[in-house]
Structure 1
Amino acid sequence: MTVIGSVGTQHARYSYSQEAVKDIVNALFDYPERKMQRLLQVFDSALINERQFSVNEQWFYEEHPFSDRNRLYLTCALEDSLKAIDTCLTDQQFLHNDIPYEAVDMLIFVSSTGIATPSLEARIMNKRPFRPDTKRMPLWGLGCAGGAIGLSHASDWISAHPDKTCLLICTEQCSLTFQKK
């Protein structure tokens, strides 16, 4: 039976109220008033109070080529993933004892907001003392369904290997993929 034994999260560096995000969007897009009001209604209907970003507000007003965005994605995604992993494996709210990195048999990494070769779970393996024979499964490009699909793959893998431990990592840096045009 598959069991979620612990959870770790890492919030992005910057946090803005929904109203502040609406102001940013309103300033960035040169749409006719009617079209802008329809767009901004989405924010009101989302029932979200606060949004997290990898970059500060000023970043959105500047041009950034894909290479810069992806380089920033690699830095932020790796840093945020490592912090979330560290929390997950040591969180006494969920665990009686810490889970050593060496106890992880499978790393599944889910993301859609950047491209990495070598993949991010390979980079993670080099930053923490996972065993060299730890299996890896990168899942890319699944969008909003990525986390659920990652859970499904983790469950399938654990069902096939009931005495093993799987670590699922999902990270998105959506603010870095934002395009004004």
Structure 2
Amino acid sequence: MSQIYPHLMALATALPRYRITQDQVLEILADAKGTALPPRMAEILGNTGIEQRHIAMPPEYYFGTRSWADRARVYEETSAALFRQAATKALGRAGLTPPDIGQIVYVSTTGTMTPSLPSRMIAAMGFGRDTRCVPLFGYGCAGGVIGLGVAADLYRAAPDKPVLLI
């Protein structure tokens, strides 16, 4: 039996509009608590190596009390736009179109929705009706690596069509 070696055909990024530095995050968290951060939390956040983060809304948005529906709406709108941008760029760079894709692996820790975002994007972007979706949620910073592993396993199981990892 021959070995199947998954490989990357293209890479692309899509980022939310707003940026915030890690120092600003620390300040915001301390302000929100009204006291200094606990030393262990400050140590963990200070050692992440993260210099800045991209966020969907201006920093002030996150200070207010927002309803679940409002936060879900922001996640849905932003994640759909970012999905479309990243997928379009990656497919273009790989010389592929949505119907060429057999499976979509989608990783997010920010939010979740039902039906899942990739399920919604199949029709919106013209993926084939037989495109399978694997939404992964809750893995935090490890999500990308876990997504790569899942995508590689899915490709090995069905190498006739590429897997899109978002």
Counterpart residue number, 1:85? 87
Give the equivalent residue in structure 1 for 2:22: 18
Deviations 1:10-40 (A, max 9, x none): 1111112222222222221123x4x455543
TM-score normalized with structure 1 length: 0.79
Letter matched to residue 75 of structure 2: Y
Residue 58 of structure 1 aligns to which amino acid in structure 2?
A: E
CA distance in 2, matches of 1:114, 1:48: 21
Mind listing any 5+ residue stretches in structure 2 that lack a counterpart?
Answer: none
1:115 aligns with 2:119: no
Distance 2:80 2:88 in 1: 12
Give 5+ residue unaligned stretches, structure 1.
170-181
- Between stretches 1-10 and 18-27, larger displacement belongs to 18-27
Deviations 1:123-165 (A, max 9, x none): 1112212111222222233333322222222111211222221
- Higher relative CO (CA 8 A, sep ≥ 6), structure 1 or 2? 1
How has the CA–CA distance of structure 1 residues 119 and 38 changed in structure 2, closer, same or farther, with 3 Å as cutoff? closer
Q: Deviations over 1:91-148 (max 9, x none)?
A: 3xxx4xx211111111122223322111111111122121112222222333333222
C-alpha distance in 2, partners of 1:87/1:164?
A: 18
Cα 1:138–1:19 shift into 2, 3 Å: closer
Q: Note if contact 1:106-1:166 (Cα within 8 Å) is conserved in structure 2.
A: yes
RMSD of aligned Cα (Å): 1.9
Q: In the alignment, which of 123, 136, 139 is matched to residue 139 of structure 1?
A: 136
Change (3 A) 1:47 1:152: closer
- Offset, 1:81: 0.9
TM-score (norm 2): 0.86
Mapped partners of 2:146, 2:45: distance in 1: 26
CA distance in 2, matches of 1:41, 1:70: 31
Identity of aligned residues (%): 29
Give distance in 2, aligned partners of 1:20 and 1:5.
36
Distance 1:149 1:48 in 2: 20
Cα distance in structure 2, aligned partners of 1:55 and 1:13: 8
